[in-house]
Amino acid sequence: MIELKRAALQAHLAEGKRVRRTLEPWGRLHLDRSLPFLCLYRRPREGAVEGFESLLTSEACYLYAEEPEESLQPLRALLSEVTSALTAAEGPSLLLELWLGPPPEDALPRGPRFTIVTGPRSPDPAVVDLFASRLRLIKQAHHPAEVEVRRDPRVAPPGRKAVYGEDRLRSLELFHLGLEIEPSLVASRTLKPAPLLLRRLRRQLSKAMRWLFHEFAQGQEGPAGAGPSAHVMAPRRLERAALEADAALAAVSGQLSFILAVTPINMPQLWRTWQRSGTFGQFVYRPLTYDPHQLKRELYAARIERVEDPALAGLLRQLQHELDLKLTLLLDIGRKRFLYGSQQVFGVVDPETRAAAHALLDLLPEHDQAAAKTIPSAKVAPMAEEEIERYRAKDESFAARVELRPDLSSGMMCSRGNLLIANNIPLGRERVEALLAHEVGTHLVTYYNGLAQPLTLFGRGLASYIPLQEGMAVLAEFLVGGLDANRLRLLAGRVVAVDALLAGAEPPETIRILREDHGFPERTAFRIAVRVHRGGGLTKDMVYLRGLRQLLAYLGRGGSLEPLYVGKIALEHVGVVEELLQRELLAPPRFRPRYLEREDARRRLDWLREGQSVSDLLKAPA
């Protein structure tokens, strides 16, 4: 055990400094900042479960230690100094002690069992009841938790002494609460927990404990009692392990350029072959400049298991898994199993998106084949550079460049924070503004907003971010008045093409379906087929319509656009992003899309908030 002086602790906390001390022979004290609670775990001398202390390390203030053999006095002395420093700053504080309960009598599958132990000096019953209700929301293997509240004159693990009696708790201005956790996730012979179950329990239990701390603080006097949610009780400093894991994943992600790698570079030759013989030639891809096997080794060198914050660890693990799948896809380019990997990364066509696609194709007239006025890419590039410069004038970190490329199959795309424009594909004059809103106002804005965050994964993209990204990009086209019938039909046609791919269609059959069944021009059908069949079968192209449909539903439910621009995230991450913003681990978006400053865009956005479907978009107010 180490000696800490109350005055030194108080000074440290008053200066806003974090306290982290390693205890001997085992343990740690961690105070993220001054808050009115402390989590405690006393590891028993026999029968300790490996990793049980991780249930505390998600919290802002905790102490875990080996229970001394001779007496509790060293631990009590340390606790007195720590809790006195906290109560001096925050007023009455809560000591929440966790321990492992006796094993279950049978091995039947069930939810976790919790026993809240109250004593003579415990929080108000209303606070305890709220804690119990939060614990009941925890599930394990679809089984809800069972929660019991038990009053006991001694708040302590079975057969062990309480750290303090009632009188000492009063003198320290401490309330004491115990939480006994039945070890249904622990193998009885090895005393090792099931890692995935422990990880899931840790995240859910952390939410419940933060609500306990928040409600307790609300009932006390002092500044800590105010706050918009329980997240005010969470840590507000990024741990070094999270930064190191983020850097390791970013080093891998930054090398991929996945879409460029799976896009054929011989589009003109493929088109000439199709026109000449009605067959597809061989797709030719860029050679990879890295070894995916080596990148996988680097990917799993990221020590995510050392990240204590469950919210951050969850985001990092999701991304690690998705990068692994993408690296496997790159190894399988041109092989039949590429399609199966694509389904793992991007999914398949869900019934709602399929219905939306067919509704659009039935509602809208056949593709307008009238010759549209086009503008050469050499004239588009200066327009794009001017648009980028408007963002750079706000902050020089918006460091995007415009590159004219001969090897693109689409008019514009973004890669590694730059805007790529095909120099062999003329763009529709009336589409340029919409494309710039799509690429610059969405993809580049979220990229540079993400890079401005402490964790660069928000710039590279969280797992499954693409549907929301593309949905937001298409929304941008709509908000600037550039989402016309042809564009909506194109998005619907991509869904139909992916459906055909998954049904076993080869490229010529996909083209036939698009032309004969849905009236697409030959060249448009050809380009859709190339995009969908590239790599060996890429299901990504259906996410544009799926992402747009999901985004419209989100806006109709009152969802805010603001958290969507902090970086490249998925809709499923909005809750975590809002939590991290409240915890000040993320910063508000540095750049906002310029189109949101337009009066007509704000008017259209207000209309969307009333609840609109994809098919309603052509009926929008001017």
pLDDT digits (tens, 9 = 90+) for 230-280: 888 999 999 999 999 999 999 999 998 899 899 999 988 999 999 999 998
pLDDT above 90 for 1: no
Q: How would residue 481 be classed by pLDDT, with cut points 50, 70 and 90?
A: very high
> Would you state the structure tokens that stand for residue 612, as one six-digit string?
């609109």
Check residue 123 and give its pLDDT. 96
Q: Which residue has the higher pLDDT, 506 or 431?
A: 506
What value does the mean pLDDT take over residues 346-350? 96
Inter-CA distances, 373 with 238, 439, 510, Å: 52, 21, 28
Which secondary structure element, helix H or strand E, spans residue 143, and what is its range? strand 143-144
Do the Cβ atoms of 583 and 231 come closer than 8 Å?
yes
DSSP string computed for 159-181: TS--SS-HHHHHHTTEEEEEEEE
- CB distance 299 to 317 below 8 Å: no
pLDDT at 47: 77
Task: Report the mean per-residue pLDDT for the chain.
Answer: 91
The per-residue DSSP string of 320-389 comes to: HHHHHHHHHHHHTTTSTHHHHHHHHHH----HHHHHHHHHHHHHSPSP--SPPPEE-HHHHHHHHHHHHH
Extents of the domains making up the chain: 6-234, 241-619
Q: What angle do CA 311, 256, 304 make, to 5 degrees?
A: 25
Q: Which residue has the tokens 């001096």?
A: 88
Distance of CA 63 to the CA centre of its chain: 29
Predicted pLDDT at 190: 58
Report how far residue 12's alpha carbon sits from residue 18's, in angstroms, rounded to the nearest whole number.
Answer: 7
Cβ atoms of 96 and 179 within 8 Å: the answer is yes
499 with 354: CB under 8 angstroms?
yes
Q: What is the pLDDT of residues 28-76, one digit of tens each?
A: 999 999 999 999 999 998 878 888 999 999 999 999 999 877 788 889 9
**What is the pLDDT at residue 228?**
53
Residue 233: which of 257, 213, 262 has the closest Cα?
213
pLDDT at 367: 61
Residue 131 has pLDDT above 70, yes or no: yes
The yes-or-no verdict on residue 371 having pLDDT over 90 is no
List CB contacts of 522: < 8 A, sequence separation 6 or more. Answer: 511, 515
* pLDDT tens for each residue of 283-340: 999 999 999 999 999 999 999 999 999 999 999 999 999 999 999 999 999 999 999 9
Rounded CA-CA distance 285/323 in Å is: 20
- One of 1.10.1660, 3.90.320, 3.40.630, 3.40.50 is the CATH number of 6-234, namely 3.40.630
Q: Is the pLDDT of residue 376 over 90?
A: no
Nearest Cα residue to 592 out of 602, 583, 581, 600:
602
pLDDT of residue 291: 96
pLDDT tens, 78-112? 999 999 999 988 899 999 999 988 776 666 667 88
Mean pLDDT value of segment 584-608: 95
pLDDT at 226: 40
End-to-end Cα separation, the chain, in angstroms = 71
At 314 the pLDDT is: 95
